[in-house]
Amino acid sequence: MRPLTCNTGYYISSTTLLCVSCGTGAATCTSSTAHLTCKSGYFKASGATTCAACASTTNVLTCSSNTVALTCNTGYFLSNNACTSCGGNGAKTCSAANTHTACIDGYFLSTATCTACEANAKTCTSNTAATGCNDGFYLASGDCKGCPSNVKACSATAITTCNSGYFK
C-alpha cells in the first residue's frame, strides 16, 4: 500500500511508492535532486535544486550562501557574515566577544560576563545564591544540598524521584 505522506526529510518515490530520503541537507523535497527547503547548517543557492552545506557547520545555524551566515549556534554571535565565539565560559548569547547577554544553565550574568554558579546549581543569581539545582540535589536557602544516593529528585523531607532502576 502506498504511503499518503512521508516524514520530514523523505518523499514518496514514483518508482517504488515508498518513502525515500531526500538526501543530505534537505528538510523537504519532491525527489533526491529537487530540494524545497534545507536543514539548519545548509542553504539552497539561487537557481540550485539541492541544498549545500554552510561554510562552517560547527557554529553556523543558518546561512544564505557558503560565505554568508545568518544565525549562529549557542555561544556564537554574527559578525561580518560569520559566526564568532562569544569567548569566556557559559555564554548562551552575546552582542560581541566577551560581552555576554545570556548564560547557559550553571552560569549567571554579571556585568556582561557569565560566571559559574556554585557547585550543583543549575540556575543562580550569584555564585552563592542558587535558584535551582541539578538532579540529585535540592534547594535549601539558596544552597544545593545532596539527596540520598540513587535519588534523582528530593526535598529536605521527601524523596520525589528515584534514579532509573530504583523505586521508593
pLDDT band at 41 (very low <50, low <70, confident <90, very high): confident
What is the average pLDDT score of the chain? 90
**Per-domain residue ranges of the chain:** 1-50
pLDDT band at 123 (very low <50, low <70, confident <90, very high): very high
Task: Say how far apart CA 16 and CA 14 lie, in whole Å.
Answer: 6
Q: For 97, how many CA atoms within 13 A lie in the half-sphere containing its CB?
A: 6
| pLDDT computed for residue 46 by the predictor | 86
Rg (CA), the chain: 23
| pLDDT computed for residue 23 by the predictor | 92
CB count within 10 Å of CB 69 equals: 24
pLDDT of 106 strictly over 80: yes
User: What are the pLDDT digits (tens) for 140-159?
Assistant: 999 999 999 999 999 989 99
Between 41 and 111, the higher pLDDT residue: 111
Task: Say how far apart CA 31 and CA 48 lie, in whole Å.
Answer: 14
Its pTM surpasses 0.95: no
